Amino acid sequence: MMNSFWMILSSFFYATYALFLKFASIDGLTSFEILFYRSLLGIIFISIVMLHKSIGFLTKHPFEHACRSCIGTSCIVFGAIAISGINLGMAQTLNNMTPLFIGLFVCIGCLRAREPFPWGLVASLILGFIGVTIMVGPSASLEEMPFVLVGLLSAFTGGVAMMFIPILSRLREPEERILFYFFLAGLVCGAIGILFTGGIHIKSLSTVGWILGFSFSSTLMQVCFTMAFARGDTGFSGFLQYLTIPFAVIFGVIFLGESLSFAAIAGMCVIAGAGILASLFTARRKKKA
């Protein structure tokens, strides 16, 4: 029961993070600034946790951390760009396609290893991309299409980054240290990006409010997400993860005055259903292995 509560909270905070991020981008913050501020709070929080648990900061596996952290950082940047350019519900739906890309990687792995082909996963992948076509086709303008593609790229890089987590776990790297290097990479990349994109764009106290909002929301989302997957059934937690989409749609309508066509809503439902199926098929394969 508690893992369901944690996952619902995580979905709520993820949608809240996207809402604050949208307001921040409207105020002129770049994706690199968003990455920097989010990572700054994250690294402070995880450092306190590591010190409390007496977990060391040094690692014997810098290459694996660098790969996971850099790919994960690019996922955050792509996600921020997508949210800034299309409506909230659509951006969050695209970002939640990560389980479908993980399913694609599993299918490729089966082909390479000549294992029995997971036709259920293939069906969910096809269904998911049909959903994208339904959602984007009549709803996104020509100017929004690059942001849609960046949103898909965010989901893809998120899937690649998540594939590194089991590798690091097998190397006995604690989750806190994985997060520390992820936030460190975000902090460094964000700072470098700020230098090349015109510096800091904080215009008013409201901008500071948006920064605090998305920074705290992303940290709380990460904590709740970890609690949910650590304590409960992975498949059911993956199902509840898609509550982010209705939360984002509601926030977009109430706070941003966004509207969605019937086709867009139908496409979102198809994508969410496909993602849930992909999560369940992937979890079942892991249990059999």
The answer to whether 77 and 35 have CB atoms below 8 angstroms apart is yes
pLDDT of residue 255: 95
pTM across the whole model: 0.89
pLDDT higher than 70, residue 1? no
- 104-107's contacts with Cβ under 8 Å and 24+ in sequence apart are 104/159, 105/159, 105/160, 105/163, 106/282, 106/285
Residue-range domain boundaries for the chain:
2-288
SS3 39: helix
Query: Which candidate, 280, 281, 277, 274, places its Cα nearest to that of 93?
Result: 274
Q: What CA–CA distance (Å, rounded) separates 284 from 281?
A: 5
SS3 251: helix
Look up residue 266 and give its amino acid: A
Confidence tier at 2 by pLDDT (50, 70, 90) = low
Over residues 50-74, the mean pLDDT reads 95
Q: What CA–CA distance (Å, rounded) separates 279 from 248?
A: 21
In angstroms and rounded to an integer, the radius of gyration of the C-alpha atoms of the chain is 19
Cβ neighbours of 197 (radius 10 Å): 13
Q: What CA–CA distance (Å, rounded) separates 24 from 211?
A: 7
pLDDT higher than 70, residue 286? no
Query: 179 vs 142, which has greater pLDDT?
Result: 179
> Residue 128 gets which letter from DSSP?
H
Q: Name the least confident of 21-25, 76-80, 223-227, 248-252.
A: 223-227
Over residues 148-163, the mean pLDDT reads 92
Over residues 182-190, the mean pLDDT reads 96
pLDDT higher than 80, residue 289? no
For the record, the structure tokens of 279 come out as 């999560």
pLDDT of residue 233: 55
The answer to whether 155 and 73 have CB atoms below 8 angstroms apart is no
Over residues 243-248, the mean pLDDT reads 92
pLDDT of residue 226: 73
Q: What CA–CA distance (Å, rounded) separates 194 from 198?
A: 7
Query: Which candidate, 141, 28, 37, places its Cα nearest to that of 84?
Result: 28
Q: What CA–CA distance (Å, rounded) separates 176 from 180?
A: 6
Q: What CA–CA distance (Å, rounded) separates 184 from 76?
A: 13
pLDDT higher than 80, residue 140? no
pLDDT higher than 60, residue 234? no
Query: Which candidate, 29, 12, 13, places its Cα nearest to that of 21?
Result: 29
Summarize pLDDT for 261-274 with one digit per residue, the tens. Answer: 888 889 999 999 88
pLDDT higher than 90, residue 60? yes
